[in-house]
A and B are shown apart, each in its own frame.
Chain A
Amino acid sequence: MRTQAAAGYPPIRQRSGVPLLHRTGYGVMYLALIAVAVIQVLPLVWLLIFSLKNNQEVFNMAPFAIPAHPHWSNYENVWVNGNIGQYFLNSVWITAVALVLTVLLASFVTFAVTRMIWKGRSLVLGLFMVGLMIPVHSTLIPLFSMFLKLHLTDNPLSIILSYVAFNLPTTIMILLGFYYALPKEVEEAAIIDGCSVNRMFFKIVLPMTSSVLATTAIINMIYNWNEFIFVNTFISSDKYKTLTVGVQNFIGQYTTDWGAIGATLMISILPILLVFLIMSERIVEGIAAGSVKG
């Protein structure tokens, strides 16, 4: 659909012109893409560099100059003096417990809604799907007062329950498509062989959905690991704080020591970067699945 005038050009001129234009255009676009990539990582490179400096070096050297003798002691210092190890451990187990609960409960619900036969299943599914649109902040005040009455504030259970409830809708949404696509013959064969529904679910259906379970697990992991507002509101003692909130409070004590702050931040982001390095393919796939189907 080139213009009429272009169509009138002799074919040879057109052929020699177009590739050249393409090559420059391609080059410019490629540079732009690389520029965006640089912008995305440059702040992190700077963070790594200043985490290895002392204050004098941070303030007097060029921002991206690496000190001749990197102060690895910054890392040792914050790891030993702070509660980072404790926060880290809390993040790991709270993330894991909430993740396993969410994926298991979501699988139960999705199985019951898509494969079993009962009245009201579309209504129940609808209730879960409407949950996708509810902003967390609008529930924060009542949740706080409810947990206060139940003596669940400053208790990890309060944040685990909140994580599971708010992650159920997304997780079910991702699972739905896979459950609808499961062949009915498998169930029929299992029932003819005298298999109970529970046995079928645990021995046949869950293993068959293991790939999508991994995807949902990743989404849950990223969400739980980085969650801030629930922990910040419900948890007050250091022994239950997760990495996000713990780091925030820890940095408060080090307002002037840039090296210590840098090291703390690096420690808090390294685990997730490491996981990304190992499982980037799955994570990319998981994030895409978790959003598009909404």
Chain B
Amino acid sequence: MKILVCISHVPDTTSKINFTDGNTKFDSNGVQFVINPNDEFGLTRAMWFKEKQGASVTVVNVGGPETEPTLRKALAIGADEAIRVNTPATDGFSVAKQLANVVKEEGYDLVIAGRESIDYNGGMVPGMLAGLTDANFVNNCIGLEIEGETAKATREIDGGKETVSTSLPLVIGGQKGLVEESDLRIPNMRGIMMARKKPLNVVEPVEAKPETTSASFEKPAPKSSVKLVEPDNLDELINLLHNEAKVI
């Protein structure tokens, strides 16, 4: 089985978010970048398929050279090779078009992408990639088994979960639950050394005009300070929620 794992290069979850150039660009100054957490669950599931059932695992990212350390980390975790599509990730649609081109060129049985990246939260790349490559698609995937050409996937739905069956080729939008958090891997020294020798292929982009553009960013308005209520005066809390905040 040939597996492609799409890797988004995102600010660490603890990052403070700021903007520059008149609030038109994300300020990456001092920000640590990581593998998008939803993608990391998918990468770990791909490693499970590789080790238990036999599979080759390629990781791919659409971005400039600054994303290569993130791809190297994925290689150190155990992916066999990496592809970087050499163009900035602008909007979701153009990223999906670049990824679709890689899928069409190389042919993969299973494509795993995170259900959304934790920076722009667009949540559109896996679905668009499935649409552009005419593959079957399961989003919010929290469980995946593959037997031959048949896949059984569990996905989270509002208020519960459902199990679906489908066939390869398949794109999934993965998330927490796809593997246990304790199964996530930290690259060890041997993995890091081996990653240096693994291929990281840089491919040039196809033409894909952005369908959306970021005009500007803004931060939420600063909050007024908290109103504290004494624990023996909960009537006051109810009064505030009813009459002031008008939420109960």
A interacts with B: no
